[in-house]
Each structure stands twice: as C-alpha cells, then as structure tokens.
C-alpha cells in the first residue's frame, strides 16, 4: 500500500519489526521472542486520518509507540516528511515532537496531576520557545476556548475536571505546538457515550482547521468508520487488510475483518443479524501459529493456510489483504 | 421474582449526603433479562450492588419501600443470612476479568468455594463440580484449566471462569455489571452468546448493566435508562430503539457512530449531547437533564417530572409526555 | 524452581566477595594498632615487629586479604589475638543466644502485627483501628533500651515473675534459658511489631479494596474468610519481605539488648572484641552476621516462589 510517492506522504513506515525478547537476564535466556510488529508498512498523507484497528495483542499500540519514538524498532524504517526518525535523540527528537504529538486513552494518566491546566498547556510553548513569553498566556487562553473549555478552566487541576474535559485538555496540549500529525491512541474509549461524540466532533473540526493528520488507533469500528479516510486492520503483529474507508467497510476481503465487523453489537432492535464465525481467542504472540496467523480462528482455513504465510496483496484498486482465499463468494468447508 | 420499590441509596461524603440511586422501582420476572443502561455515575452499579447488599455501609445507606427476591425481604436479613443467599440465590459478576479473581488461588479452587460454602461439599467433590462448571461455560480442557491461576488465562477465559463461578450456586438472579466491556469484540461476541445460552437453558433471571446500547440490543427484553440516579425511561428493547421518548435516550442512541451507518465525518458532525452529567451533589431543581436537553421548556426548571406509564409497559420521566 | 534457587545461590558469589573485602578493609582502616593493644605501650620495637610478622600484619594489605580469605574459605576464621581461642568456635558458641533472640522477636512481631494489622484493616476508621494505630505508633517511637528497662522494672523487679539479667545455657536448664530470654524477646518483638503492623494494616486495606474481594463477597463468603484467606494471602509478600529485613536489623539491635540483659551473644562479643582490638574476632563475627543476613534474604526470595504462583510459574504468562 505504499505506492504513493514520498512527496505527498507525511509519515511512512517501511517493513517495521519490533521483537521483544522475554526473560532475558544475566544468567538466563529463555530464547522466547514476541514479534509485536512483524513487517508493517503504511503511510499517512497530510490532512488524512488513518484508522488502525485490531484487538489486544495485535501490535497497534507498539506501532504507535515506535512512531512516537517511545520504542525503538528492531528493524525497518519510519520516515517523517522523508527523513528517518527511527532513533532520534536530543535536539532532533525535540524538533520531531513539534510535528508529532500524541493523545492517550486515559487523559488522567497523561496529565501531570499537580500542575494547573494553564501550566500544562504552557509548558510545550516554553519547551519549544514558541511565541514571546507575554504572548504565551494569550495562546493558552485561545487554545482553551478552541477546544471548548472556558478560560477559567486553566486555573484548575486535572482532577477537578470531568473525563471529557480532561481529554479536551490533552487535545489542547497536543495542539499547542501546531503539530502536523497526531497519534490518537484510543482517544474516546475511556469516555462516556454522550461525551464520545463531542470529542470526535472536536477532533474532526480541529483536523480541518489545522490541516492535521491523525493516526487513529481504536478497537471501535464504528468510530473508525466515521472518522477515517483509510483503514488498516492488524492481527498478531501483521497488517491483514488495508483500504480506503469506503472500500474496507463496503467490501472487506480478509475473513478476520469480516468477523470483526460482524462481532460488533449493533444498537438496533434485534441486535446483530450476522453470525459470528470467529472461533477461539487470539493466539499467544509468543508462539504464533505457523502460516497465516489467523488460520486457527478462520472458518475458511485450508491446508495451505497452515504452512504458507499470505502476503499483503492488492485485491482491488488500492485495496490490500493478506489472505490466500480472499474471495468472499466461495464458502469453503473447513 | 425480584421486586424493587422506592429503592434509594445515599452516600455520606465529605461534602454532605448525595443520593446515588433515587427512588427506583422495577421488577424482574422469572427468566427475564433486564438491561440497565446509563453513563458513569448514573447509579446503575450502585443499584445492583445494593440489591445484593455488598455496598460498604457506611458510607452507603439503603432505603427501600420494598426489596424482595422470591418473597424474601432482602432488607430484613442479617448479614449472616444474606451471606447464605449471596452466591446461591443471587450473585453478581463484574467488569474486570483481569482483577476480579484472586490472583493467588487456582481458578478451580475459587469456583469450588461456592460448592463448599453453599452445598457443604468436601473439597475433592467441590473441585469435580468446578471442572463440570468450567466445561459448561465452554472452557476447553477443563480439568487442566481448573489447576490454572488467573494470570495464566486470557481475559475471555477469566470472564468464563467468573461466569462459571456465578452459575455454580444455580442462582435465581444474576447481576452482571458490564460483563463484556473489558473484552475484545470477537471475545465479547462469544461471551454474549454464552450469557444468552445460559439464560435460555437455566431460566436464570438476569440484570445486565451496561453503557453499550449494542449489548442491550443483543441480550435483553426490557431496558431501564438511568440518569443521575433516576430511572428516566423504562420500556421494551424494541421501543427503546424504535420509539424512544426521553430526550436523553434519543441523544444516547444518536450519538453513537454505528458500524452499519454509512455516515462519515464528511457528512457532518455526530449528534452530540451537550455538556456533561451534573455532579450528584450539584443537581438542579426540576429535571436533572434540563441543562443538556435540546427540548427544554420552562416547566423543566421548575418542577421535576415523575416517571409515568405513557403506554402499556413504557414509562418515561419527561414533561414532553405529560 | 530448583533452577531458580541455584541461580540465586550463584548470584551470591559476587555479593560475598564484595562483603569480605569491605569487612577486611574496614577494620584495617580504623585507627588503633592491635599490636599495641596486645603488648601494651611499653613493649620494645623488636617484640612488636616479631608479633607483627607472626600475625602476618607486616605483609601488604592485598596479601593479608588473600591469606585471610583463603583461610576463611576453608572454614578457618583464625584465632583470637587476645586469648588465642578459635574464632569460629567462639562465634558458634555465642550465636545460639543471638539467633534465638532474633528469630523469637521477629516471630513475635509478625504474630502481633498480622493479628493487629488485619483486625485494624477490617475495622478501618473505627476505635479498634485507632487503638491499633496508636499502639503501633508507641512501638515505633519508644527506644528499645527504655522499653527494656521498663519491662525489667515491671516484671523482674516489681512483680519478680522473670529474671532481670543473666543467662542459663539451654543444655543446663531449658526452662531457665527461656525465662531469661522472654524479656529481651518481648522488648525487640514489641518494637518491631509497631512498624510491621502499620505495614500489614495498609497492605490489607489495599487488598480489601481490590475487585476480587467484591467477587468473594458476591459468592457469599464470610468476612472472616475474605479477610484471613483471600486478602491476607495477597498481603503476605510485603509482610514477609519486611519481616526478613527485620530479622537482619534485629541482629544489630541485639548489641544493645544483649548488653542491657547481660546475654552472652554475638552482640556482646563484637562490642568486647572491638574494645580489645581483637581483629580476627571482629572480622569473623561481622562476616558471620553478614552471611546470616544474606541467607535470610535468600530465604525471603525463595519464599516468594511459594507465596506467589506468578513468580513460581513465571514465563508462562500470557501477554494480553
């Protein structure tokens, strides 16, 4: 899915791998390896939202951490505006942070509890020397209003705010340095239903206003469908399907994507109509299955799936899936 | 089977007494699955915990006109008598499968405790029955799994263990507090199927507490919508989705980005409910939802609406339906 | 499990090495010459030199260390330069009292603390909790020598129930041995119980607020089963860790207590040997105490594997 030339790409990830070695210590080495990311490639264009979907253990959080330079990938490349950002430090990392910000699931954990909101928002300005010091208070007030808070919210501590308000502060903090890309890791999952829509609407508004790109990591397909331009589905450290939002939801190829969609409870009298055809649980990433990582749970699995790893192949224009038998029409008995 | 009339739960806090559950009345029939939906702080979990009486008292205080399970007035029972009912006649399962099991005991042992406590079985028999329960909830290789510690099981498996433990006492009423919220969607689907199957097979009545209207649609026949400690709407699941009456219910339903809906961010913003839930110690006079309601009228700020039956089985607390 | 213990034992080798160097160097860096101490100030330079040579004190420090370390490895801690007796024999002879004192007082403190701390946590905020906290505060604050004298005045002098000072060897009369050790054990135990019961209480309060406690209540378990089986089982690791540390520090407190109660233990031995500049005796005793301390820590670590299945079976854990 990396056909586009670098010129119109903000962030691109090439064959990224991240292996964790378990129980390694001075006298003891277990030799067990978790392949948290196993050859992941993707790109994000300016102003675009890339949805990243998958269940726990699929590697989506590790991928986000690698992009944010919190984890160092084992191999592969991460390019931001064409420049390698895998292993930055010092000034280079600092200048990357101006362009690349993050919003976490739990705004409470990511806001310093003993700082007032205005100081939390001012800090990035001080760190990156943005604006004259007398202008910074003004910039903070403007941003508070922009994310739907009042100026007097600046005098409060994070614990004095509601969950939705805290997430607005986290968004405001990310925006203070006017970044190009925001990694949003489950930004609405911890919020109440009535607040989720407010935050999603805010994120969409801000995207238009500041021409932001989002890497939107979520397990909630409904939210991803609403907010994304393109979507990547991950399973056990690999991308199993990638397409535009319209194509993916209209005609998914990978059996995992199909199952994921059918498993979501639908708020409508009678509930889901489709049967859930996904068996068992996600296998341990310590001992991933041979061949296709999904074959242990797949209703279409055949012998080839147990031996040969399917590559991500173009199934339709701009629509990629890693499946040996991606044809939806043919139902095969296992 | 379960009858609740005018149940209130108050908490004594540093800033005075707050009412977490405010004069709630409802009943659950034998074999029925009732849903309680609402956001954090609406009182749904406190309500369930007050039925099984596991709230810390103090600071909590329960008052009720009536709280009877199969003719037994639960509020008259001593703590010791209540212990005999808990885990047997009525039991409860919780949201966090990761932390709801004791990490230091094998899961088989933890289920066996129910058999030993309520049926006086010896430990070997109790363990045998535990293995049967594990098989019943679809855990493969139950004999081996009974010897596992919780940390050796996945979240989905742990939630199955917790369900097995709840079913061990063959309860008449099962209270399930967000039983699938912490699980991945494919596992959630499996657990929802399991809960439905148990209800159909054993006729256990259930109260399912959730914030997720999708889960409500999957499982329950009747729904209570709670807001700021009060029931604001109570009706059949069908009515809830097709003919919701309370503006809060309508707002909840419309604010969720639905996987089946073609709407994207380019089609306009999601319908949001403005503002946030009022704090329980700072509730307005009149209707508690007035500050966020798009259909607010003068009367809403003056007087609190009562829960009214507007059509058979459809109750709503809103001046619009007066 | 066995692999774990072997690994832990191997990890002790560098610890012992460093420990022995510290013990060896420490005594050679403090002022005061043992030759002066033995021969007195009037001795001739020749006599001093020949004694130095005999004791190996004329060799470079590094040589002295290896000579000493080599002997230690064979179990020979040398002889006292005061009375010529074997250091190891003297230590073993006196260790019994100190070990009895240490283990007895730690056991007592654990019993008091677990009962007190648990009852306090289960009745958090009530007068019971406040009484336990108050008693613990007293235990933490009062100095051990003061409590020792208070107990002595009350039980030995006023009521004459127990002997005040002195010691009877267990081989001679075991009942008298125990009677002589009751007051020292109670003194140390009561003081350690203060901190340990506060730890137990806060640890239990933490455990009692966990989700699995609510599950246990929903199962219909009684308060007793919930507190003493479910919660205490989870609170044990920090309690055992702390008790293990106390067992180490009590070896230090024993110096004071043994002096007050005139008990012929290792504490007394160290103090006397330091006064006499009996290098081999001081070195030997400190090395012995350090060895005990390290072994206690090893036992504590091994007890984790019994208390915590996650440590015992680690590695099989799922990564969710």
The DSSP annotation for A65-133 comes to HHHTTSS--SEEEEEETTEE-TT--HHHHHHHHHHEEEE-S-HHHHS-TTS-HHHHHHHHHHHTT-S-H
Question: Minimal Cα distance from B223: which residue of A?
Answer: A269
List, for residues C69-118, the tens digit of each pLDDT value: 888 888 888 788 778 888 888 888 888 888 888 888 999 999 999 999 99
Rounded to 5, what percent of chain A is helix, strand, coil?
A: 35, 20, 45
Mutate to test the interface with A, among C6, C310, C318 (most CBs of A within 10 A): C318
Place of tokens 């939806």: A328
The pLDDT of residue B91 is above 70: yes
Q: How confident is the model at residue A334 (pLDDT cuts 50, 70, 90)?
A: very low
Domains and CATH numbers, chain C: 93-275 (1.10.3720.10)
CB B15: neighbour CB atoms within 10 A? 10
Question: Minimal Cα distance from C226: which residue of B?
Answer: B102
Q: How confident is the model at residue A200 (pLDDT cuts 50, 70, 90)?
A: very high
Which residue from A148, C155, C17, A137 is spatially nearest to B274, judged by alpha carbons? A148
Residues on chain C touching B92 (C-beta within 8 angstroms):
218
Mean pLDDT of chain C: 83
In this complex, do A34 and C319 lie within 8 Å of one another by their Cβ atoms? Answer: yes
| Nearest-CB residue to A263 (from B155, B186, B265) | B186
Alpha-carbon distance C307 to nearest alpha carbon in chain A (angstroms)? 21
- Give chain C's contact residues with B (Cβ, < 8 Å): 210-212, 214-223, 230, 233-234, 307-310, 313, 316-318, 320
List, for residues A101-155, the tens digit of each pLDDT value: 988 887 777 788 888 998 889 888 888 888 888 888 888 988 998 888 888 888 8
Q: Is the peptide bond before B118 cis (omega within 30 degrees of 0)?
A: no
**The pLDDT value given to residue A232:** 95
Q: How confident is the model at residue C181 (pLDDT cuts 50, 70, 90)?
A: confident
Domains and CATH numbers, chain B: 2-77+214-258+270-321 (3.40.50.300)
Is A77 in the B-facing interface, judged by CB distances under 8 Å? Answer: no
The pLDDT of residue B281 is above 90: no
The pLDDT of residue A205 is above 70: yes
DSSP for B8-71, please give it: EEEEEETTEEEEEEEEEEEEE-TT-EEEEE--TTSSHHHHHHHHTT-S-TTTEEEE-SEEEETT
Is C10 in the A-facing interface, judged by CB distances under 8 Å? Answer: yes
**The pLDDT value given to residue A230:** 95
Mutate to test the interface with A, among B265, B267, B268 (most CBs of A within 10 A): B265
Cα–Cα dist C207/C217, whole Å: 14
In this complex, do B102 and C234 lie within 8 Å of one another by their Cβ atoms? Answer: yes
Residues 133-162 of B with CB under 8 A from C: 149, 151-155, 162
Neighbours of chain C (3+ CB pairs under 8 A): A, B
Please name every residue paired with A17 in a beta bridge, in sequence order, or none if there are none: A38, A75
Residues A72-77, mean pLDDT to the nearest whole number: 89
Residues on chain A touching C317 (C-beta within 8 angstroms):
none
Residues C114-129, mean pLDDT to the nearest whole number: 89
Q: How confident is the model at residue A161 (pLDDT cuts 50, 70, 90)?
A: confident
Cβ proximity of A14 and A76 under 8 Å: yes
**The pLDDT value given to residue C284:** 86
- Cα–Cα distances (Å) from A151 to A141, A157, A165, A310, in that order, read 6, 13, 13, 54
Cβ proximity of B175 and B209 under 8 Å: yes
List, for residues B173-230, the tens digit of each pLDDT value: 999 998 888 888 888 888 888 888 888 888 899 999 998 888 898 889 999 999 999 9
Cβ proximity of B133 and B164 under 8 Å: yes
**Parallel, antiparallel, or unpaired for β A313-316 and A319-321?**
antiparallel
In this complex, do B85 and C220 lie within 8 Å of one another by their Cβ atoms? Answer: yes
**Parallel, antiparallel, or unpaired for β B173-177 and B90-93?**
parallel
List, for residues B52-62, the tens digit of each pLDDT value: 988 887 788 88
Mutate to test the interface with C, among B14, B58, B112, B151 (most CBs of C within 10 A): B151
**The pLDDT value given to residue C13:** 85
Residues 218-247 of B with CB under 8 A from C: none
Residues on chain C touching A34 (C-beta within 8 angstroms):
319
Cβ proximity of A183 and A217 under 8 Å: yes
Which of A65-69, A242-246, B182-186 comes out lowest in average pLDDT?
B182-186
In this complex, do A265 and B251 lie within 8 Å of one another by their Cβ atoms? Answer: no
Q: Considering chain A, what percentage of its residues have pLDDT values greater than 90?
A: 27
In this complex, do B185 and A281 lie within 8 Å of one another by their Cβ atoms? Answer: no
Residues 194-233 of A with CB under 8 A from B: 194-198, 200-201, 204-205, 219-223, 225-227
Residues on chain B touching A260 (C-beta within 8 angstroms):
185-186
Neighbours of chain A (3+ CB pairs under 8 A): B, C
List, for residues B107-117, the tens digit of each pLDDT value: 999 999 999 98
In this complex, do A28 and C7 lie within 8 Å of one another by their Cβ atoms? Answer: yes
In this complex, do C319 and A57 lie within 8 Å of one another by their Cβ atoms? Answer: yes
Length of chain C: 320
Alpha-carbon distance A178 to nearest alpha carbon in chain C (angstroms)? 35
In this complex, do A28 and C320 lie within 8 Å of one another by their Cβ atoms? Answer: no
List, for residues C24-55, the tens digit of each pLDDT value: 876 677 666 767 766 776 777 888 788 777 77
List, for residues A276-296, the tens digit of each pLDDT value: 677 788 887 778 888 899 998
In this complex, do C10 and A23 lie within 8 Å of one another by their Cβ atoms? Answer: no
Integer-rounded Cα Rg, in Å, for chain C is: 24
DSSP for C240-265, please give it: HHHHHHHHHHHHHHHHHHHHHTT--S
Which of B162-176, B217-231, C280-294 comes out lowest in average pLDDT?
C280-294
Residues A24-41, mean pLDDT to the nearest whole number: 71
Cα–Cα dist A269/B216, whole Å: 9
Interhelix angle for C87-122 vs C279-307, to 10°?
40
In this complex, do A27 and C10 lie within 8 Å of one another by their Cβ atoms? Answer: yes
Query: How high is the ipTM of this complex?
Result: 0.85
Cα–Cα dist B234/B316, whole Å: 6
**The pLDDT value given to residue C315:** 46
Mutate to test the interface with B, among C219, C305, C318 (most CBs of B within 10 A): C219
**The pLDDT value given to residue A276:** 67
């Amino acid at each position: 899915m990396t056909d586009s030339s670098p010129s119109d790409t903000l962030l691109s990830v090439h064959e990224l791998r991240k292996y964790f070695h378990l129980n390694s210590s001075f006298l003891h080495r277990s030799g067990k390896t978790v392949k948290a990311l196993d050859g992941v490639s993707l790109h994000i264009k300016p102003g675009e939202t890339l949805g990243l979907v998958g269940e726990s253990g699929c590697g989506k959080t590790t991928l986000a951490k690698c992009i944010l330079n919190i984890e160092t990938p084992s191999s592969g490349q991460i390019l931001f505006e064409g420049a390698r950002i895998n292993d930055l430090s010092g000034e280079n990392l600092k200048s990357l942070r101006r362009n690349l910000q993050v919003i976490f699931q739990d705004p409470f954990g990511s806001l310093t509890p003993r700082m007032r909101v205005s100081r939390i928002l001012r800090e990035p300005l001080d760190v990156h020397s943005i604006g004259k010091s007398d202008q910074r208070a003004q910039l903070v007030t403007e941003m508070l209003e922009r994310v739907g808070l009042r100026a007097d919210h600046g005098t409060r501590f994070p614990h004095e705010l509601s969950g939705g308000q805290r997430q607005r502060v986290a968004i405001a903090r990310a925006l203070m340095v006017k970044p190009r890309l925001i990694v949003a890791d489950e930004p609405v999952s911890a919020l109440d239903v009535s607040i989720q829509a407010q935050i999603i609407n805010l994120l969409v508004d801000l995207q238009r206003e500041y021409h932001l790109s989002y890497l939107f990591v979520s397990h909630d397909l409904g939210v991803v469908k609403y907010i994304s331009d393109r979507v990547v589905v991950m399973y056990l450290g690999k991308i199993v399907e990638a397409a535009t939002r319209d194509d993916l939801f209209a005609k998914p190829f990978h059996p995992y994507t199909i199952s994921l969609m059918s498993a979501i409870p639908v708020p409508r009298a009678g509930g889901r109509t489709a049967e859930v055809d996904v068996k068992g649980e996600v296998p341990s990433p310590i001992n991933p299955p041979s061949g296709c990582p999904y074959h242990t749970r797949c209703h279409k699995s055949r012998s080839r799936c147990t031996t040969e790893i399917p590559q991500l192949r173009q199934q339709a224009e701009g629509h990629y899936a890693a499946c040996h038998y991606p044809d939806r029409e043919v139902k095969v008995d296992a | 089977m379960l009858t609740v009339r005018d149940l209130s739960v108050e908490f004594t806090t540093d800033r005075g007494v707050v009412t977490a559950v405010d004069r709630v009345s409802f009943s659950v029939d034998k074999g029925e699955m009732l849903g309680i939906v609402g956001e954090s702080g609406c009182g749904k979990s406190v309500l369930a915990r007050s039925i099984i009486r596991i709230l810390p008292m103090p600071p909590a205080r329960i008052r009720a006109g009536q709280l009877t399970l199969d003719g037994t007035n639960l509020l008259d029972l001593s703590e010791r008598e209540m212990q005999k009912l808990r885990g047997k006649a009525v039991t409860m399962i919780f949201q966090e499968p990761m932390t709801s099991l004791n990490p230091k005991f094998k899961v088989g042992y933890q289920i066996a405790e129910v058999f030993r406590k309520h049926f006086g079985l010896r430990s070997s028999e109790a363990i045998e029955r535990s293995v049967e329960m594990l098989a019943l909830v679809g855990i493969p290789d139950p004999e081996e799994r009974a010897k596992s510690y919780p940390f050796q099981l996945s979240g989905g498996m742990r939630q199955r263990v917790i369900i097995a433990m709840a079913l061990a006492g063959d309860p008449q009423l099962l209270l399930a507090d967000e039983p699938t919220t912490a699980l991945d969607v494919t596992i959630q689907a499996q657990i929802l199927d399991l809960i439905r199957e148990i209800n159909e097979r054993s006729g256990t009545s259930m109260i399912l507490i959730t914030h997720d209207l999708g889960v409500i649609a999957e499982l329950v026949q009747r729904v209570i919508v709670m807001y700021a400690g009060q029931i604001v709407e109570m009706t059949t699941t069908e009515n809830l989705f097709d003919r919701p009456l309370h503006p809060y219910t309508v707002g909840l339903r419309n604010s969720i980005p639905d996987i089946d809906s073609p709407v994207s961010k380019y089609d306009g913003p999601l319908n949001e409910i403005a503002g946030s839930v009022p704090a329980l110690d700072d509730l307005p006079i009149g209707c508690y939802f007035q500050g966020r309601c798009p259909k607010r009228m003068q009367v809403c700020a003056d007087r609190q609406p009562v829960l009214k039956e507007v059509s058979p089985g459809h109750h709503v607390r809103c001046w619009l339906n007066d | 499990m066995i692999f774990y213990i072997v690994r832990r034992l191997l990890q002790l080798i560098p610890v012992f090495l460093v420990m022995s160097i510290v013990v060896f160097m420490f005594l050679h860096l403090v002022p005061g010459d043992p030759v002066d101490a033995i021969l007195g100030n009037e001795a001739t330079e020749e006599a001093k030199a020949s004694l130095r040579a005999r004791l190996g004190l004329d060799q470079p420090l590094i040589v002295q260390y290896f000579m000493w370390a080599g002997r230690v490895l064979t179990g020979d801690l040398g002889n006292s330069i005061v009375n010529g007796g074997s250091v190891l024999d003297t230590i073993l002879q006196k260790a019994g009292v100190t070990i009895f004192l240490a283990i007895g007082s730690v056991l007592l403190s654990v019993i008091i603390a677990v009962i007190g701390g648990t009852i306090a946590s289960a009745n958090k905020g009530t007068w019971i909790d406040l009484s336990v906290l108050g008693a613990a505060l007293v235990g933490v604050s009062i100095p051990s020598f003061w409590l020792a004298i208070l107990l002595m005045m009350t039980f030995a002098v006023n009521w004459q129930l127990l002997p005040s000072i002195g010691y009877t060897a267990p081989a001679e009369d075991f009942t008298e041995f125990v009677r002589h050790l009751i007051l020292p054990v109670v003194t140390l135990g009561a003081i350690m119980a203060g901190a340990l019961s506060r730890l137990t209480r806060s640890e239990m309060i933490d455990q009692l607020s966990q989700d699995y406690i609510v599950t246990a209540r929903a199962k219909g378990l009684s308060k007793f089963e919930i507190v003493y089986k479910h919660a205490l089982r989870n609170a044990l690791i920090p309690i055992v860790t702390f008790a293990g540390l106390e067992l180490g520090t009590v070896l230090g407190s024993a110096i004071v207590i043994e002096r007050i109660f005139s008990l012929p233990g290792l504490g007394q031995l160290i103090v006397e040997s330091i006064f006499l500049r009996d290098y081999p005796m001081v070195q030997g005793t400190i090395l012995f105490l350090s060895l005990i301390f390290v072994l206690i820590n090893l036992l504590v670590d091994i007890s984790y594997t019994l208390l915590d299945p996650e440590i015992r079976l680690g590695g099989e854990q799922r990564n969710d």
